[in-house]
Amino acid sequence: MIRLVGVEKTLGGQRVLQGLDLSIPAGQLTTVIGRSGEGKSVLLKHMIGLMQPDRGEVWVGDVEISHLKGKRLNDVRKRFAMLFQGAALFDSLSVFENVAFPLREKLQMKGSEVSRRVEEKLDQVGLKGMGHKYPAELSGGMKKRAGLARALVMEPEIILFDEPTTGLDPLMAKSIHDLIVSMQRRFQFTAVMVSHEIPEVFGISDWVAMLRRGKIAAMAPAKEFVRIDDPEIQEFITAGGTLALPKALVG
């Protein structure tokens, strides 16, 4: 579905991505982990064409997007949705209007079909009857749910999640993770998530990839990733032995 081949990117004189190769399986949930500052968000932005590599190729299906601009790039982006760290809601719009925004702006959709799709998505993410509220009236977890509803309303093939549980307490973070998983399983979109939530991501992901020093140090199915014999990887995912892995993944 998504392939990055030999991608290099320098920002502010620092080489962030250094010949990175990565293939994202279609219809599954892949989580990218790594230490702060490794360039995980930069990686996501390359996938959706918000950044272009200095060298290398970015493929979405059979389209190489690294040099696309204008309408051709926008046509590819229509296959995507993205959930940012802060949900990126418009403060001046109600929850309903926030979720309806891409339908009206990108699809020029009007009338009852907009209402039907928005209410359906709000119901699916647990915000039924909350469309009249404004972002300032929502808790952190509710804002994430509204952001997810807006991502889902376009019925995308691919959704990118940039630290979707940042700022949430552990219980709320778990509920958002569970919601993402249930939506991905239900609609079968390709999901790519950047997360620091170790070890929780190993219980929800199909695949895990670790970004280290500008390259993918390892990628494997979640149950296999936790057994990779690499000291740096083991140190990172166990946080010095202070975090226990889910029981289903050990033994």
pLDDT, position 106: 83
Percent of the chain with pLDDT over 90: 75
Q: Is the pLDDT of residue 112 over 70?
A: yes
Over 50: is that where the pLDDT of 135 sits? yes
Average pLDDT of the chain is 90
What is the strand order of the sheet 158-162 is part of? Answer: 80-83, 158-162, 190-194, 29-33, 207-212, 215-221
Q: pLDDT of 148-188, one tens digit each?
A: 999 999 999 999 999 998 888 888 889 999 999 999 999 99
Q: Is the pLDDT of residue 250 over 70?
A: no
Lookup: tokens for 226: 């936790």
Q: Where are the domains of the chain?
A: 2-249
CA-wise closest residue to 118 among 154, 85, 89, 88: 154
At residue 210, the 3 state secondary structure works out as strand
Please report the DSSP string for 30-92 in residue order: EEEE--TTS-HHHHHHHHTTSS--SEEEEEETTEE-TT--HHHHHHHHTTEEEE-TTTT--TT
pLDDT digits (tens, 9 = 90+) for 60-87: 999 999 989 999 999 999 999 998 776 7
- Dist CA 103 CA 95 (whole Å): 14
Domain 2-249 homologous superfamily, CATH: P-loop containing nucleotide triphosphate hydrolases (3.40.50.300)
The 10s digit of each residue's pLDDT in 188-238 is 999 999 998 888 899 999 999 999 999 999 999 999 998 999 999 998 888
Span 39-63, mean pLDDT? 95
pTM: 0.89
Residue 245: the pLDDT is 44
The predicted structure's pLDDT at residue 168: 86
**Structural tokens at position 99:** 């979720």
pLDDT computed for residue 84 by the predictor: 78
Exposed, middle or buried, 8 (CB in 10 Å: 0-12/13-18/19+)? middle
Give just the sign of the alpha carbon dihedral 243, 84, 56, 36.
negative
Give the residue-averaged pLDDT of 1-19. 95
Residue 242's pLDDT is what? Answer: 33
57 bridge partner residues: 5
The pLDDT of residue 196: 83
pLDDT at 96: 96
Which of 2, 54, 24 lies closest to 214, judged by CA? 54
Residues, the chain, total?
251
pLDDT at residue 238, as a whole number: 80
